Structure 1
């Protein structure tokens, strides 16, 4: 969006809100008026309060909105259902220190009802969007508010607001939707937390349509709502849940004040949504919404049934239950739910039992009883002692068995999650226990038959053992490396081993939705461990011989190096043919995702790109000069540089790396591996690799970061010049500014710094390795110290250079494409 367009929308939005350009005030004191056409702005300019007309309506309201967002976004309205017809409204402090909104003929439209008297009242709009009335004399406790708008939410929950109950005052913090985009008055949909202190019910958040339940989050289980397993530690916000004798509430705080996010109960689609403001694109992006699917609508399957969104049909009776109306059930009408197959033996309590169900959104908490100190065994006994008790579970899953919740009567609104749900013990009759045991015995017998058939099949398949010898040898070698028992290793690597089941659960069984990418070694998946830690899991392809070597190499090397600009390995997992490497998760993907895309590239300003260049240089310098082993990466490229949440670079993928001991500086190989466009000439055509071959790759990467263009396939007009040749030519013509990525024009403050970086990049890609600086010198050069030597003509000046030096029989390319494999070179 251009600057002119942005200003046009912004000014138009201000005129719609205020009717004209507004006068701004900082606060309101007694006898002062905030009139229509005047606004109050928070200290840092984030929020603004004044009079506005929503949508196409001509009615006037007093509200609070985001000041610097061009899309009209009102977060609070004082007179929601009492609009004013003319622009004659004003806000003032009366003689007893209450806020009063006056309409036509000074009629009272809305007012606060603070019972406390203030010696020197003052009204201020805080930078979190909270309108507060406080006593200016109370300087020692500025947060001792006489009244605050956060206590009276409308349809929006902001960072720092409470959502729930103040049990001491009997006050509720809940949201209610607008009737329409033209009318902010309360509509049918409300979103609040429901909790009965007298009956010890389990607190949970519920959306109601009128008096009917529409959606519920499930009870809070100590970590998250049981019906919302996606609520986990994340990079956007922190959240907390307070469950005490005085208060029961949920709240969140944004981790980065520069990010803008809000929760809204929508006035038209009846969903609760979290929105994030995308500053670069100038629009609100939906982060999540509920209800998410058909299973989220309250009571979808009736009583004693579970909803499984992947099932067919989605509603299924619990084990031990049958449809109450089979005819309705078969016609997809599940409203009547399910009933027990066999009645409970209430008078013979010892015969009743419980069946464990896992991965559930817990049933409706309306008919529950809670005890925070009772353990799980006592909870079971408590349930058995009451004929009406039908289920029990832990009240706090963090307590490892502490806390007890029991349900009475039918169980409503249950759904199953593939991961992240909660356990529930459902009461079943003695007859059902006998039936289940019989069914279990039959399944056991069937398994025995299957096992016998498998054993016979294995006996017939022994002829394939030879194909797996190398696989098993690598398996034992890797185990020896990780455990530190290899006789050639001097020190334990102390690399944690993970259970395959935990990694499978963390990645949702290596689902396609969790897949981050695919390499020559195999796929990479995003995962979340039980404690909330986010990870990236590299899953070695079972049939990749190259992948086996990469796995062993990566385990040996990366476990020994630690640096802020190298990706950190969390552990590994080995189970039979499965070999997994677990890394810290990088939320901002890889560097190539940004620098080679015009829209994403705008997010990387020159200061950020320069910071990334310096970080990569420091990481390589550590590998070459400061680590216990001298390590040559051999595959440095944009896709192997990952970015954390703060856009700090971390070098990854050490599968092709080689290590040296002592004073060794270079090596030679008959098997050249790497990526076209980044390999140094002496390595690509002679197999000679050294720290200077990594320096060449760094120079290529540095020029790509500055220009926003890929080295592979680059062509300048019809001359056939490579990216290196293009940079060299422009520098010799004193026109290096043409080399800079066009989206950086407005973000660099020192042209000298950018040109110095192009100069350093050309020094790194010299034809002769001796002419290239080492990485420690590059780090010094980037700091702006010293005079730079003049570079000589670089290697790979034109596309044909890549082929002429390799093989006399190779045909020169007539075009600028460069995606053909070179004989004897294994490129990825």
Structure 2
């Protein structure tokens, strides 16, 4: 009886012990105590179950890591990784908190893979590790409620995420640099190519690096926002600030409403986006992207130049400066930038002009003082001959503090509004008149006399121009046509000053040997194209409107107006025009190689274009389209992009031609509707062919078709697969779904291909031909995807891919069902 009672007592005690242990574990689910171990399958969860820490596998990788991820929402979205560069090869590792307050990750053999001893750890008595609802894992003394200064915290060692409450910058006392770096790929969290950091070599600024090369600069903090980020403004989701003192330099943000989730992520492809969780759709959406257009490319325009996305070309020398290399500047090669129109000599008359609405220049070679007034700043800069510019360091209120630049000014851009002021040093002859009652130089009478003289000179020139214009209007029709080469006929109706060189009909007759058949290069919907040689030896290509042409004066004028002011290395250059009687002609630069179609669709010629050459062509076409869509003065929609409209120069560089069907948009217009659908079957986007709706995404669709044709050496509408009756787009789509995209590559390219580039190109092509325009990427994204190794979104079902198709047939006007017997639209078939 005694033994039975003893047995029952032991069972009761065991039950009590187990119950207590269970209660203790439940209460401490967000912590780990000294000598406690976590293994695969076990996790620590934050108090409100917002975040979770434990072992995980990245994507399709077989390796194991310790990480922190969201628990309540978006399970699997990892925001921090401990052993990102030293993964476990199996799940037999364990994570332990030592009595010294150090986290240690060991593998199955007991070797230390990672530890938190990056800092000198102070002596502790009873350490506890705790996961907070901010996503920060901290180690502190048990009972210590000061979570602001823990023994160690994961927020001091970011990976690829910037979370609310995290400091992004540098601790000047401890030396901790809180940068965040991309993953290598979605399957590999190791340190990737891209790093975002606060550069403290001068006045602090935020930059993005690809390796050691700066590719983007958000600029310095101006008291309200980063100078290069005018869209960073107060909002109902989060607030933000920048701290700059003798102890710390950092940017951070905090949520206004804790029920909203947002994060900043630096992706493996270099995209740095602010993402917002949309609970109704259970997905992350992009809320804000720092890099939005071509002017965000670091130092695109070189020294003393500014990039304005609304100008054409986008790069312009600042007032008082001129191109260092005018020849390169004319062909949109801006690397050498600009220089002073009149050199500085550190003379007494030098002063400063005010430039407004700018992104402030690169501050690597700058100095700053947060207590100086703007007058003190000007005085210090003027007394130092190496000082080139200055401005306020804080624009809030009436402005305060001072930043001074020394040496060349680089990576400037102009905004329509919300930009910063900058005072730039100039010689006396270039100084403006007083601004707002304050002299910008202390200058003198020169600054008053020069503007007055300039006004008088401009007035005289205007009078001369009006005199000669009226004189020409009173001349004979023959004289008007012959002398102005179409300027009156075109400009009066369009109110455009085309400023094109004038070619007489007789000059072109001589140049083309009376339009000899031996000089004929080809013929398109517009008419024949002839090679010509001018008296000075310059070779030209003359596009002559035929009497039987399906195109007319409208297309002629459209091409002249569309391309006359476009200057880009990947666009065919228009040299001039001529109208005389019924003759209408356009004169282009002569390109010695034929069109791209004559290479990739010709079995013998295709051997001359290996994969590196084709990848170069794909990228060149993409850059040309980006210029048309984004960097030109007006947004240009080509509407007839196809392989035969891509011409090749002597070095096989691609040049987009044929702008007779192009349309331009102004302002913020992004799409339009037309009753006159033009283009070529096989390249037209579904929404354009069916409903007449066109936008930049119409050109993106055509680009996608073009990419697939370059890779496969097959025509989209000339291809017919005997098994599934699909055209080229459909065949590429089926192969992609089966993971066999490499089978799309032309056999002759197999020996020269870069597999990663080819598969990426096919993937980009499929993204471009997606059925819905909003799903297609912009050309900015296309160029970034082609040039990186990061992840890409999965393409959705493409448009126009089912069924057998016939050869390409152009569509000039009318509805989608209307076609032409001529298999070219306005084009120059052969090379020039």
Tell me the TM-score normalised to structure 2 length: 0.49
